[in-house]
Amino acid sequence: MAVMEKMTRASSGGMISGRTMFCHLDAPANAISVCRDATQVVVAGRNIFKIFALEDEGFVERLNLRVGRKPSLNFSCADVMWHQMEENLLATAATNGAVVTWNLGRPCRNKQEQLFTEHKRTVNKVCFHPTEVHMLLSGSQDGYMKCFDLRKKESVSTFSGQSESVRDVQFSMKDYFTFAASFENGNVQLWDIRRPDRYERMFTAHTGPVFCCDWHPEDRGWLATGGRDKMVKVWDMTTNRAKEIFCVQTIASVARVKWRPERKWHLATCSMMVDHNIYVWDVRRPYIPFATFEEHKDVTTGIVWRHQHDPDFLLSGSKDSTLYQHMFKDASRPVDRANPEGLCFGLFGDLAFAAKESLMSGEVGRKPYAGGDRRYPIFFFKKPDVTEQFAQVSSALSVFETAPGGAPMDWFIKTARRYLLSGRPFAELCEHNAKVAKDLNRPQVSTTWTMLRIMFSDPANPSSSSNHNLSKLGNLPLMNSFSMKEMSSALTERNKENRQDNIHNLDSNLNTTEDNEETEGSEGQAEYLFGDAELDDDDLYSMEHENQAAEEAEFSLPQEAFPLRHEIVDHPSAPEPLTEKPESPHVSGSEAEATCLTPMESFSLISVSSSLLFPPHLPPAFFSPVVIAMLRYYAEQGDVQMAVSVLIVLGDRIRREIDELTQEHWYMSYIDLLQRFELWNVSNEVIKLSTCGAISCLNQASTTLHINCSNCKRPMNNRGWICDRCHQCASVCAVCHHVVKGVFVWCQGCSHGGHLTHIMDWLRNSTYCPAACGHQCEYT
Amino acid sequence: MNSSTDICNNCRAALREKEKGMKVPQHISSGPSSFIPESEILEAMPLGDHTVMLLAEEFSGRMDNLTQVMGLHPHYLQAFLRCQYYLLRMDGPLPLHYRHYIAIMAAARHQCSVLVCQHVQEFEQIGVCSDWLRGLEHCPQRIRNLNEINKILAHRPWLITKDHIQALVKTGEHSWSLAELVHAVVLLAHFHALASFVFGSGINPDPEVAEVTGVADDLCPPAVSGICSCHLTNNGRANDSSPGNTNVGSELEVLMERMKRLQEEREEDEASEEEMFTRFEKEKKESLLVGSGGFDNNKVVPPSPVARFVDDPSFGYQDFARHGEDNLPTFRAQDYSWEDHGFSLVNRLYSDVGHLLDDKFRTACDLTYYNMASHEGVDTSMLRRALFNYVHCMYGIRYDDYDYGEVNQLLERSLKVYIKTVTCYPERTTRRMYESYWHQFRHSEKVHVNLLLMEARMQAELLYALRAITHYMT
């Protein structure tokens, strides 16, 4: 017998030929099956039941089994199977619960042979015994499996899964008596066909329904299962406990799984929803499909390998009413298109990077990745495997660690902690924040704060600073900076001495402008820095700063800028005494005094003249576009902290100019960052200060505290101190025996407590509980 | 002041209804439900297990009436609360205030002021966009776009097509992402179905809700009970024992007998294909005749404070069967089932909600105490399935493997009237309807029926909506 089988295998295996082809069906298919010699395929669905011949050039319809004027529900097939021994015999599972067998050898048009209506619910699956001619197994929604002897009119045995619906039943290829059944509740059961009273073994394979299972055609112990949880698992059943040996994660629930003939590690899957492709997986490479067939336009409902010893032909039917024959050589190979590079940040700012080895070795010297201080190259090599044609990929993984001590986000945390967002006059806030930024060596941010202060607190002097701001943002063409020079010279002429400070200010502004242009053009310098960075630890440290500056500001400041800059940022501290002088002509409303005024009162006149020079028709609103551009710039740079802080500090001055959604987005990002760094207080402050509705309501979620009554142990409803049910005062102070209506402090050990002050007093003198329960309470 | 005029309007409307020979919902003066005596519900409360109590974070200490009634089935309540909590409060595609507003819109379709008030209050607590509460025209276009599927899902879910989905999802200023849409659809279905439960069980408005201040004042008249004369006249339970009670003894026996017979018959019952088909059609058609008789289907709903959240109020339920089979194909449950298809889609677009819904459906369907009225140890699965499938049948969903003859055998006419009213136009449910079926059954069993109806309805709506989304995606 076995020898004969081998021979037929050999002869027929060589004969199959064909190409990728398809034909239209009239209706969606639910299942397909092929006859043993691989020459014909049967397609079954709710409204279709046809046999097609597989010719070299295409599918040819052979037979329509759906006959009769008013087709009965018995034709509405959920599953179909062609007998693998008897070429005229087919079985279908009908949605109304009927199991039907068909004999193609019948002379009349109606080929229906037998009808079993024993199941009460939809039959999901039928399965012929692989070697026994007359044995048919069915699994139904009603939770029963039935074994039919086709020579009899009724089932010979009924197996009760004692659980929910049966989704699939499969006879073992090698064990004559064994079959596997998969269930909607995630279990898989193994049964001995001779013992209908109890399953041999059961295990939970998936969470949620197991839609399909398939025995390995060669390996006796392997069972593949696919479930709604989007996984395909391969189980080794030879051991005492079913052991999961492989697991493939797909992107959608798995409707069918079929081992690929002649390829030990390969199996094909298709999905039930959303995903229309057929995948062939190598179970040892679970992260990427070995091959995919992407022809179908709707979900694939049935897949079957055309011949049980030929791995190159796959047939599939689909809801899109087509029947396909796929040639394996035409399959697309995702691995060819896959991008073998990966990049990932670690929890502590480490950076891991994997790339093809060839790529890496060529570029090791160049070091294109910033932020890396040390390199720990780790090389992984895939073991070469001759049996599979999976593209060999060996990639190198590099992990970049940050230097110990110099956490790259330090500045973020410090800034978040030290920034002041409210509670003081606007100018002071700006000043403070500028100072913080300066301390943390972030000159650009610091300058921005200073500029903001100047722009929004003094109507007299804003023009120069705004220009500076513009040029800094790169919004201003070069021409403008020339005109600014002219302007500054004009200024210098008119109030040469008096406005020394301001000129200083302006000059330095101009300097920074030029510097900016300079550095932006010279990127080579920055790269050189990175290249250098590897040399030793001292260098590393300095690079850290450079690096930071580059990250934040996109340009790094050359050395000569620093002394000047120093003066700028120092400047704000000068006018502080002035803010106390109410007689100053420029005090406006609640705003703090203009900071750029010279500290002597007598000069106020001159400053008026300067305000005439730059007439006051430049209200703060004039700067809004610039400030908005600045905020966007920072946000785009990834410094959402700056954007949000400025937004809060400026408050109404700018809020209405930026659309709500953007603001919300910034707030969310910043709050998210703050919470990641566990800066809860800051994050709460930000939420509180935000003006976006969606943000401020964040603080209002889960603010409820539930308490139970201390007498009846029921939840307290309305008030915290009196229980509705037992009408007792629940929270009585153990010291003064009055009801506590405010803060109630209690011991977690003995649950006695009372007024905060009373308990504090008590425990200062005694170590025991005031309620005299004998517990040694502690107040910390 | 506002509210007092409202009540007068209510009274007038009620009188008008009465003149037409209809009964309006009568309120037992106090307690969670106007249909169920308070004592019954309180009795059941000790069953509430610890998990339920934990979940009661929803209710800031006090459980609302709805929860108390549902608490008759603590096992289910747990699944329900977990699901609702996830939908309304946990991470999801939609912002919190959107969720409550959608809940308001959904409940308003059935003029369910209990739910509307509850969520108006919640919405106010969030404290944003409170002007939306002044009515649909004050909320963004994006939300108003939901009106179309809201009304279709509420009244005639079989009409929803992929074009509706496309209109919402297509790129543009007010477009919805698929994930947001799925969240919205689940919310809509949830609150439509919940409205059915509220009316079906006669849930009374929560007393606290009346304390709402501000814009929504007029929405929530202080607990209607006791103030209004029409309720006072009707709140006695004297007339409860309706004339039908004389033959109650036999009623239960008949039902039990039928169930037993069906179980036995099943083996030899070899109904032909056509027979099965006609049985389904017959149930479908019969559902047409049931119930809606007294109502003019196109009657304009009297203006109520809730109406501001309703767009196109004249759009109401229309029988599925009335349209004939040619233009509305029957929905085959086997081709698009919750377990296989709906779940996967929902879970893909709105993670984890699939499991919670699945759990809820499963709990509702499998819930049984093996009791029927005074009888114990009864397998009620057949009855439960009949209820569930009958609802789906009215929505045009057919199970190939179900014999709709069973529905006819097991569900008496008065029950069918009740089912149809509760699922299709719950706002018309009256106490008389509630009391007219299953006289010997306990209230908790009737609440169980309501749970089944609610879940069946929700699943039917979801299936139609999700199928449309699937079609849109492919």
Q: What is the mean pLDDT of residues A120-140?
A: 90
Q: List pLDDT tens digits, range A473-509.
A: 333 343 333 444 444 444 444 444 444 444 444 444 4
Q: How far apart are CA A18 and CA A529, in angstroms?
A: 62
Q: Are A273 and B266 in contact (CB < 8 Å)?
A: no
Binning pLDDT at 50, 70 and 90, where does residue A213 land? very high
Alpha-carbon distance A70 to nearest alpha carbon in chain B (angstroms): 8
- Fill in the DSSP letter of residue B347: H
Residue A542 has which token pair?
């300095």
Partners of A430 in the β-ladder: none
Q: What percent of chain A has pLDDT over 90?
A: 17
Residue B430 has which token pair?
């009256």
Whether the per-residue pLDDT at B5 is higher than 50: the answer is: no
Encode A462-510 in three state secondary structure. Answer: HHHHHHHHHHHHCCCCHHHHHHHHHHHHHHHHHCCCCCHHHHHHHHHHH
- The pLDDT score that the predictor gives to residue A93 is 92
Q: Are B344 and A253 in contact (CB < 8 Å)?
A: yes
Residue B239 has which token pair?
């007339």
Q: Which of A166-180, A317-331, B61-75 has the lowest mean pLDDT?
A: B61-75
Listed in sequence order, the residues at least 6 apart from A366 whose beta carbon sits closer than 8 Å to its beta carbon are none
Considering only CB atoms, A693 lies closest to which of B129, B277, B344, namely B129
A614 or A409: which leads in pLDDT: A409
Q: How far apart are CA B373 and CA B216, in angstroms?
A: 43
- The pLDDT score that the predictor gives to residue A718 is 59
- Fill in the DSSP letter of residue B342: I
Q: Are B61 and A122 in contact (CB < 8 Å)?
A: no
Contact A481, A469 (CB under 8 A): no
Read off the pTM.
0.65
Q: List pLDDT tens digits, range B77-124.
A: 888 988 998 998 888 888 888 999 999 999 998 888 888 888 888 888
Q: Are A718 and B61 in contact (CB < 8 Å)?
A: yes
Contact A542, A549 (CB under 8 A): no
Apex B330 CA angle, B325 and B333, nearest 5: 170
Q: What percent of chain A has pLDDT over 70?
A: 67
B-chain residues within 8 Å CB-CB of A182?
none
Q: How far apart are CA A440 and CA B390, in angstroms?
A: 71
- The pLDDT score that the predictor gives to residue B229 is 31
A432 or A779: which leads in pLDDT: A432
A62 or A535: which leads in pLDDT: A62
Residues of chain B numbered 93-122 and touching chain A (CB < 8 Å): 95-97
Q: How far apart are CA A594 and CA A583, in angstroms?
A: 13
Tally Cβ neighbours within 10 Å of residue A202: 18
Does residue B62 belong to the interface with chain A, where contact is any CB pair within 8 Å?
yes
**Annotated catalytic residue: which of B8, B11, B83, B112?**
B112
Whether the per-residue pLDDT at A655 is higher than 70: the answer is: yes
Whether the per-residue pLDDT at A379 is higher than 90: the answer is: no
Alpha-carbon distance B283 to nearest alpha carbon in chain A (angstroms): 18
Q: Are B344 and A228 in contact (CB < 8 Å)?
A: yes
B112 assigned to active site: yes
Considering only CB atoms, B128 lies closest to which of A73, A117, A693, namely A693
Q: Are A117 and B345 in contact (CB < 8 Å)?
A: no
A699 or A468: which leads in pLDDT: A699
Residue from B91, B334, B355, B365 to probe the interface with A (highest A Cβ count within 10 Å): B334
Q: How far apart are CA A547 and CA A525, in angstroms?
A: 12
B240 or A427: which leads in pLDDT: A427
- The pLDDT score that the predictor gives to residue A316 is 93
A572 or A654: which leads in pLDDT: A654
- The pLDDT score that the predictor gives to residue A713 is 67
Whether the per-residue pLDDT at A290 is higher than 80: the answer is: yes
Whether the per-residue pLDDT at A174 is higher than 70: the answer is: yes
Residue from A273, A321, A322, A696 to probe the interface with B (highest B Cβ count within 10 Å): A273
Q: List pLDDT tens digits, range A20-79.
A: 888 998 888 999 999 988 889 999 988 889 999 988 888 999 888 887 766 677 788 889
Please return the burial class of A4, using the count of CB atoms within 10 Å of its CB with bins 0-12, 13-18 and 19+. exposed
Whether the per-residue pLDDT at B239 is higher than 50: the answer is: no
Whether the per-residue pLDDT at A610 is higher than 70: the answer is: no
Q: Are A252 and B344 in contact (CB < 8 Å)?
A: yes
Q: What is the mean pLDDT of residues B270-277?
A: 64
Q: What is the mean pLDDT of residues A139-151?
A: 91
Q: List pLDDT tens digits, range A545-557.
A: 444 444 444 444 4
Q: List pLDDT tens digits, range B319-338.
A: 776 655 455 677 888 888 89
**DSSP-assigned letters across all residues of A583-625:** T-TT--TTSPPPSSS-S-GGGHHHHHHHHHHS-S---HHHHHH
Q: List pLDDT tens digits, range B121-154.
A: 888 888 777 788 888 888 888 888 888 899 899 9
- The pLDDT score that the predictor gives to residue B62 is 58
Q: What is the mean pLDDT of residues B240-266?
A: 64
Q: What is the mean pLDDT of residues B296-312?
A: 62
Q: What is the mean pLDDT of residues B450-468?
A: 93
State the virtual CA torsion across B266, B270, B276, B279 in degrees, nearest 10.
Answer: -60
Considering only CB atoms, B125 lies closest to which of A141, A273, A700, namely A700
Alpha-carbon distance B97 to nearest alpha carbon in chain A (angstroms): 9
Q: List pLDDT tens digits, range A385-397.
A: 444 556 666 777 7
- The pLDDT score that the predictor gives to residue A223 is 93
Whether the per-residue pLDDT at A720 is higher than 70: the answer is: no
Apex A438 CA angle, A611 and A575, nearest 5: 35
Where is mean pLDDT largest: A427-436, B280-289, B364-373? Answer: A427-436
Q: Which of A572-586, B301-315, B365-379 has the lowest mean pLDDT?
A: A572-586
What residue in A sits closest to B382 (Cα-Cα)?
A120
Average predicted confidence (pLDDT) for chain A:
73
Q: How far apart are CA A450 and CA A465, in angstroms?
A: 9
Average predicted confidence (pLDDT) for chain B:
75
The structural domains of chain A, ordered by start, are: 339-383+391-408 (no CATH), 410-466+618-701 (no CATH), 486-615 (no CATH), 707-780 (3.30.40.10)
Whether the per-residue pLDDT at A303 is higher than 90: the answer is: yes
B-chain residues within 8 Å CB-CB of A253?
340, 344
Q: How far apart are CA B422 and CA B452, in angstroms?
A: 11
- The pLDDT score that the predictor gives to residue A72 is 75
How would you list the strands of the sheet with A210-215, edge to edge? A210-215, A222-227, A231-236, A243-249
Contact B372, B256 (CB under 8 A): yes
Q: What is the mean pLDDT of residues A275-292?
A: 90
- The pLDDT score that the predictor gives to residue B208 is 60
Closest CA to B464 of B273, B311, B280, B328: B328
Q: Are A273 and B470 in contact (CB < 8 Å)?
A: yes
Strands A201-204 and A210-215: unpaired
